[in-house]
Amino acid sequence: MHPVHRRIEAYYTEKILCHGVGPRGVDWTCEATQALRFVQLLKLCDFSRPFSLNDVGCGYGALVGFVAQRHPEAEIDYLGVDLSPVMISRARRRHRGARGCRFAVGSGVPRLADYAVASGVMNIMLDHPRALWEEFVTDTLRRMHASSRRGFAVNFMAEKSNSAATEGLYRTDSARWTLFCQQALGGAVEVVSGYGMREFTLLVRPKNEP
C-alpha cells in the first residue's frame, strides 16, 4: 500500500473505532451535512434507468442508506470501496442483505461502472506535504475517471479568504481541478457550489456521454 494510503487508512480506522458507525465515525459533523453532500454528488446520476455506481472511500456505506431513502425506486448496482478493513467490516454488517450492494477493501477501483462518486476523500491531508497530497488527488481522479463510463463526482473544501489554513485540511480552488479534469481527463465539468457549505462539487462527464 502507498504510504499516503496507509496513513489515511489508519486515520479513518481510528475514527470509526472511536466514534462508531455514524457521521462522526467518518469525520462529518452530522447526518444532515453528510446527506447534503450526497445530494450534490448524485446530481451526476440519471435515476430514470438502472445504473452501476462505485463509491470511492465509502466508509460504512452511508450512501446506501441515503439512496434507499431518497430514491427508493432506483435500481443501483453499488460497490463501495474503502482503504480501511474496519470500515468495510462495519459497512458489510450494516447493509447485510441489501440488494445490489457490495463492499471491497482497497486503494483502487476494482471494476468499471457507470458512475463513481467520492465524498470527503480529498479533505483530510494530515501532515502530508501539499504537493504529495495533490499527487494523491490526481491519482484518485484518474482512477475514478478510468473506472466510470458515464462520469464521476467528487467534492472538495473551498479556500477561505482572510483566514489561516486549518492544519491538516486540504482546501483548494475549483478552477485548479476543473482544469485538470478538462485537460488531462478530457471531461466536461460542471461545478456545483453555493449549497451552504464552503465546498464545491465537481460533476465530470465524458464529452460525448454514452
Partner 1 sequence: MGGLVGDSATRDVIAQINARFEAGDAILEMVALQKEFKIFSRKHSLYDSWLVLNIKASDPAERARWKDWAENYMKSKVPSDLKGVNGHDRLVRAYQENLESSRPLPMYYRHHLAKDDPRVIVSTGKGPLFSVVDHIVTSIPIKPVAGKTTA
The CB-of-96 to partner 1 minimum distance in angstroms stands at 25
* Residue 54 C-beta: closest distance to partner 1, Å: 25
Judged by CB under 8 A, the number of residues near partner 1 is 14
- Binding track, positions 176-195, relative to partner 1; x by CB under 8 A: -------------------x
What residues numbered 17-76 form the site for partner 1, per CB under 8 A?
A: 23-24, 29-33, 35-36, 39
- Residue 35 vs 126, nearer CB to partner 1: 35
Q: How far is the CB of 29 from partner 1 (least distance, A)?
A: 6
CA angle 120, 125, 128 (to 5 degrees): 160
Q: State the minimum distance, in angstroms, from the CB of residue 171 to partner 1.
A: 13
Using CA atoms, how far residue 67 sits from 18, 75, 156, in Å, is 26, 10, 21
Rounded CA-CA distance 76/103 in Å is: 14
Q: Which helix (H) or strand (E) holds 169?
A: none
Backbone angles phi, psi at 162, to 5 degrees: 55, 35
Own/partner contacts of 176-179, CB < 8 Å, gap of 24 or more, are: 177/137, 177/141, 177/202, 178/202
Q: Which residue has the cell 468495510?
A: 88
Closest CB to partner 1 among 35 and 185? 35
CB of 62 to partner 1, least distance (A): 13
Interacting residues toward partner 1 by CB under 8 A: 23-24, 29-33, 35-36, 39, 195-198
